[in-house]
């Protein structure tokens, strides 16, 4: 993150999904691969946990995959390499070019200042804000462009979710900071 302005921006989790194979025999796969759980009565896919990078994969018989716990692009690449090797080892031929895309990023950020959430809730567009301090201590602010949900706490700490890349997250931060300037 070369941008000094958003120095405290930190990726907490990335979720990626897509297609990794034409089809997968989950019973055979889960029997041949360690750290893989399959209980079709509870869930239609296999849960494959990888220790390094520490990620979890939901693998479905359709060849679809959901990967969570990713912290950066390298972890996604490394995790995909491990999954494709495990598929090959289990007798499944993965796609030459798996079609995987980031579907959600969760980031944290510190504004380094106190935020008056009551004032913010009253000032911002009511359709885009949820604030019920008796239920949850943070204000939920839905930014329309880029489509990102921001949880804002009075301490100045925030969580941003829904972004597909860091550029979207930074744009959302710029939108948020502009709104904060207007209510100070």
pLDDT confidence of 1, banded at 50, 70, 90? Answer: very low
Please give the pLDDT value at position 183. Answer: 77
Please give the pLDDT value at position 20. Answer: 97
Tens-place pLDDT, residues 89-133: 999 999 999 999 999 999 999 999 999 999 988 887 778 899 999
Contacts (Cβ under 8 Å, ≥6 apart) of 3: 170
Residue 121's CATH number = 3.30.310.10
Contacts (Cβ under 8 Å, ≥6 apart) of 153: 115, 117, 137, 138, 139
Assign 4 to helix, strand or coil. helix
Domain boundary among 84, 102, 120: 102
Domain boundary among 59, 85, 102: 102
Please give the pLDDT value at position 2. Answer: 47
Overall pTM surpassing 0.85 (yes/no) = yes
Q: What is the mean pLDDT of residues 9-30?
A: 96
Q: What is the mean pLDDT of residues 15-31?
A: 95
For the chain, what is the largest distance between any 2 Cα atoms, rounded to a whole number of angstroms? 61
Place of tokens 């520490």: 54
Q: CA torsion sign, 17 to 19 to 25 to 29?
A: negative
Tens-place pLDDT, residues 36-90: 999 989 999 999 999 999 999 999 999 999 999 999 989 999 999 999 999 999 9
Contacts (Cβ under 8 Å, ≥6 apart) of 64: 17, 18, 19, 20
Q: What is the mean pLDDT of residues 1-5?
A: 57
Strands (E) across 42-163 are located at 46-50, 55-59, 64-70, 94-110, 129-130, 139-143, 148-152, 157-163
- In the chain, the number of structural domains is 2
Q: Please state, as a whole number, how many other Cβ atoms lie within 10 Å of the Cβ of residue 165.
A: 12
| Residue 98: cis peptide before it, omega within 30 degrees of 0 | no
Asked if residue 97 and residue 49 are part of one domain, the reply reads yes
Q: What domain range includes position 163? A: 111-183
Tens-place pLDDT, residues 155-180: 999 999 999 999 999 999 999 999 88
How far is Cα 106 from Cα 11, in angstroms, rounded to an integer?
6
Tens-place pLDDT, residues 142-159: 999 999 999 999 999 999
How far is Cα 27 from Cα 38, in angstroms, rounded to an integer?
7
Asked if residue 162 and residue 138 are part of one domain, the reply reads yes
Please give the pLDDT value at position 11. Answer: 96
């Amino acid at each position: 993150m070369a941008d000094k302005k958003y120095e405290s921006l930190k990726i907490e989790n990335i979720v990626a999904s897509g297609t990794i194979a034409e089809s997968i025999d989950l019973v055979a796969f889960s029997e041949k691969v360690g750290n893989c759980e399959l209980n079709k009565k509870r869930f239609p896919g296999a849960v494959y946990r990888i220790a390094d990078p520490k990620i979890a994969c939901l693998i479905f018989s359709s060849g679809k995959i959901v990967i969570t716990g990713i912290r950066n692009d390298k972890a996604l690449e490394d995790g995909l390499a491990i999954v494709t090797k495990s598929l090959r080892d289990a007798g499944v031929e993965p796609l030459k070019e798996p079609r995987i895309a980031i579907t959600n990023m969760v980031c944290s950020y510190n504004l380094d200042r106190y935020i008056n959430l009551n004032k913010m809730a009253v000032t911002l567009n009511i359709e885009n804000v949820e604030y019920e301090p008796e239920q949850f201590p943070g204000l939920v602010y839905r930014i329309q462009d880029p489509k990102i949900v921001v949880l804002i706490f009075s301490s100045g700490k925030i969580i941003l979710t829904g972004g597909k890349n860091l550029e979207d997250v930074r744009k959302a931060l710029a939108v948020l900071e502009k709104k904060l300037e207007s209510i100070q």
